[in-house]
Amino acid sequence: MSFLTVDAGLAARGVHLAVGVAEGETVAVMGPNGAGKSTLFGLCAGLLRPDSGRVALDGRVLADARSTWIPPHRRGVALLAQEPLLFPHLSVLENVAFAPRAAGASRATARTAAEYWLGEVDAADLASRRPAQLSGGQAQRVAIARALAAEPRVLLLDEPFAALDVAAAPALRRLLRRVLTGRTALVVTHEPLDAHLLADRVVVLEGGRVAESGPTAELLERPRSPFAAGLAGLNFLRGRAVVWGPTARTTPPGHLRVVGLGEVSGTVPDGADTPAAGEEAIAVFRPADVSVFRPESAPHGSPRNAWAAAVRELEPRGAQVRVHCDAGSHVIVADLTPAAAAELDLGPDVAVVLMAKAAAVSVYAA
């Protein structure tokens, strides 16, 4: 059983989340707006009460839909908000000492603890300042020290870099990497890089449910949800695996039928699960591996995937042009050079044929 176990729902929000976190594990929580990230934190921190299921920490139920309710300050769960919420009238040291004081420590013990944690976040020299005299990055470090001074068993960080300017983020990222090592924590982030640097594992939420979970690198390489595919910058199609004939053709070995698009051929990557016929399967491919043709000049009889599509919009993207296309009921994006986009005279509503070699399409079981 996990150290922190959430298997809890809030019907009014259409949310039911099942998430387990091992002791000492840091988990990145990702997902689009409204996916349930804040609800997950609220359930853990004691800001929301589940109306089904329960939340438990180290075998002790923190909240359930019936009678159990441990109040926030007795859970051993610290929530760090996007904005560092420091008491404006207290010094930095007093802010950090507040947590041990509230837990019953003597003034001297609380002060010693505060000095220790300020040292841990490289903010010892800020001890006598007021919050108004801190930069955003400094205030966030102090807020982290305060959260840690409460000696929480679980730390919840809600987009810790959201309120920081880009210049302050790298130092805080290094700091968090250090303090999160071996700590039980959940971190909401929109950055795959932060998931990779700070967390052991990613949980992706979509529509109030856990869509997928796994090590960051694996999730980006073989996403199983449209959201994770978006993070990885990949086109994503979901369908059912098909096997042709009594002996399935083996090159290319992966085929799936995608509703609203047709058949897609790809290759099962090493280490991925080959889908059985009829099973749900996923195809992903890079926008750079999609070729765009005008219908009249599209090559025929090629073994590639070919989809009739219409350009929806063009988007400049660094040295490339990203072409968003409607192909059946799906959106497929292709990256072209500006010269190629100009030569094809692409624009909204222009009819095109999109092609992708089976070797460039990864197919695996959903």
CB of residue 309 vs ligand ATP: minimum separation in angstroms? 31
CB of residue 217 vs ligand ATP: minimum separation in angstroms? 23
User: Cβ closer to ligand ATP: 34 or 253?
Assistant: 34
Phi, psi of 204 (to 5 degrees): -100, 125
Q: How many C-beta neighbours within 10 Å does residue 298 have?
A: 17
Q: Which residues bind ligand ATP (CB under 6 A)?
A: 12-15, 31, 33-39, 208
User: Cβ closer to ligand ATP: 58 or 191?
Assistant: 191
Residue type, 42: G
User: Cβ closer to ligand ATP: 31 or 137?
Assistant: 31
d(CA 293, CA 295) in angstroms, rounded, equals: 6
d(CA 225, CA 286) in angstroms, rounded, equals: 15
CB of residue 219 vs ligand ATP: minimum separation in angstroms? 17
Residue 338 near residue 321, CB atoms below 8 Å: yes
User: Cβ closer to ligand ATP: 50 or 254?
Assistant: 50
Residue type, 69: W
User: Cβ closer to ligand ATP: 13 or 130?
Assistant: 13
CB of residue 207 vs ligand ATP: minimum separation in angstroms? 8
Residue type, 105: A
CB of residue 44 vs ligand ATP: minimum separation in angstroms? 12
User: Cβ closer to ligand ATP: 64 or 158?
Assistant: 158
d(CA 190, CA 157) in angstroms, rounded, equals: 12
d(CA 331, CA 310) in angstroms, rounded, equals: 10
Residue 271 CA: distances (Å) to CA of 7, 169, 218, 268, 302: 30, 35, 10, 8, 28
d(CA 134, CA 92) in angstroms, rounded, equals: 9
CB of residue 199 vs ligand ATP: minimum separation in angstroms? 17
- Run of H or E including 224: none
User: Cβ closer to ligand ATP: 81 or 272?
Assistant: 81
User: Cβ closer to ligand ATP: 13 or 240?
Assistant: 13
Could you say which DSSP state residue 73 is in? G
CB of residue 196 vs ligand ATP: minimum separation in angstroms? 20
Token pair of 260 as six digits:
């609203």
CB of residue 336 vs ligand ATP: minimum separation in angstroms? 32
Beta strand 351-356 pairing with 154-158: unpaired
d(CA 216, CA 218) in angstroms, rounded, equals: 5
